[in-house]
Amino acid sequence: MTAQTERKPIDHHLEKVYGATTSEALSAAYLGWAKDYDTDVSSMGYRFPILGAAILARHLLKNDATILDAGAGTGLIGGWLHDLGYTHLTALDLSPEMLHQARSRGVYGQLEAGDMLKRLPFPDNSFEAVIAVGVFTQGHVPPQGLEELLRVSRSEAIVVIPLMKNSWEQLGFKEKAMELEKSGIWQRIDQTPWCPPMPNSSDHKHDLGAVFAWCVQ
Ligand SMILES: C[S@@+](CC[C@H](N)C(=O)[O-])C[C@H]1O[C@@H](n2cnc3c(N)ncnc32)[C@H](O)[C@@H]1O
């Protein structure tokens, strides 16, 4: 086995979070990963946070727009958005330990623990943009989680969601996204090419993903 194909601790963490079947199991998996998450995902060349921030910045010209980072984790996206000049960032995550790491970045004005599959602690029409990276995926949040994000989004809000190809094609996101488009709830405004978002992961380097952006109608 070469050094390149050797399994790393991150592959075990990914196995646990992707394999979670309950929110308790998922929270426990992130409890055990929170401290090493940033170093680990950096080692696998994880591109979705920077790509997601870049696509949001392509469509959101207002620096003081209210932005929800849903499933913020340790706040990688908040860090990029802060560096891009956005000033009104809110973090939401299921895991208190991941949120604790996010708080230490000092870039979010508000941080809330919450479950996207339940009612979120925000009024209707709160946000001018929502970004959810690494959240709508295997073992995490199914397409129904979009409903709550749409409730807290204002009309004309930009919604940015990176998705792995298997989530898009096999977990129901393509159907849900098209249903929302047909119902006039949102309009797709952007999509990157499919590319490998984890190019240095031994288990996932060939998996493809793309970043999607929609505008709420
Ligand atoms: C792969 S991490 C992504 C974190 C961050 N967005 C990033 O890209 O680095 C997924 C995050 O989603 C959170 N999460 C999973 N299910 C959730 C739910 N139902 N509600 C809120 N957050 C959730 C997890 O706790 C975890 O922090």
Model confidence pLDDT, tens digit, residues 25-79:
999 999 999 999 999 999 999 999 999 999 999 999 999 999 999 999 999 999 9
- Average pLDDT over the chain reads 95
CA of 191 to the centre of ligand 1 (A): 21
Q: Considering the domain boundaries, does residue 78 fall inside one?
A: yes
CB of 81 closer than 6 angstroms to any ligand 1 atom = no
Tokens 């990914």 belong to residue = 14
Which tokens belong to 82?
A: 């802060």
**pLDDT interval class at 2 (50, 70, 90):** very low
Residue 95 belongs to a domain: yes
pLDDT at 168 exceeding the cut of 70: yes
Is there a domain that residue 1 lies in? no
Which tokens is 56 given? 């949001």
Predicted local confidence at residue 10, as pLDDT: 83
Q: Which residue has the tokens 């790509």?
A: 51
- Among residues 77, 60, 80, which one has the least CA distance to residue 69? 77
Is any atom of ligand 1 closer than 6 Å to the C-beta of 71? yes
Q: Give domain status of residue 3, yes or no.
A: no
Model confidence at 7, pLDDT cuts 50, 70, 90, reads low
pTM, 2 dp:
0.95
Domain assignment present for residue 34? The answer is yes
Instruction: Tell me the average pLDDT across 95-112.
Output: 97
Inside any domain, residue 2: no
54 vs 2, higher pLDDT: 54
pLDDT at position 6 is 62
pLDDT above 80 for 3: no
Q: Is the pLDDT of residue 5 over 70?
A: no
Sequence-distant (6+) residues with CB within 8 A of 157 are 127, 128, 129, 130, 215, 216
The first and second tokens of residue 22, run together, are: 């309950």
Q: Say yes or no: CB of residue 131 within 6 Å of ligand 1.
A: no
pLDDT at 137: 95
pLDDT above 80 (res 4): no
User: Using CA atoms, how far apart are residues 51 and 150, in angstroms rounded to an integer?
Assistant: 22
- Domain with residue 107: its CATH number is 3.40.50.150
Higher pLDDT, 6 or 213: 213
Residue 30 maps to a domain: yes
DSSP of 4-52, one letter per residue?
TTS--HHHHHHHHHHH--SHHHHHHHHHTTTTTHHHHHHHTT--HHHHH
Decide whether any atom of ligand 1 lies within 6 Å of the 72 Cβ.
Answer: yes
Asked whether the beta carbons of 161 and 129 are under 8 A apart, the reply is no
Contact 78, 69 (CB under 8 A): yes
Q: Is residue 21 part of a domain?
A: yes
Q: Which two tokens stand for residue 215?
A: 């505008």
Query: Other CB atoms closer than 10 Å to residue 73's CB: what's the count?
Result: 26
* Count of the separate structural domains present in the chain: 1
From atom 16 of ligand 1, which residue's Cα is the shortest distance away?
140
Boundaries of domain holding 97: 9-216
Beta strands in the chain (DSSP E): 67-70, 89-93, 110-113, 127-131, 153-164, 186-191, 209-216
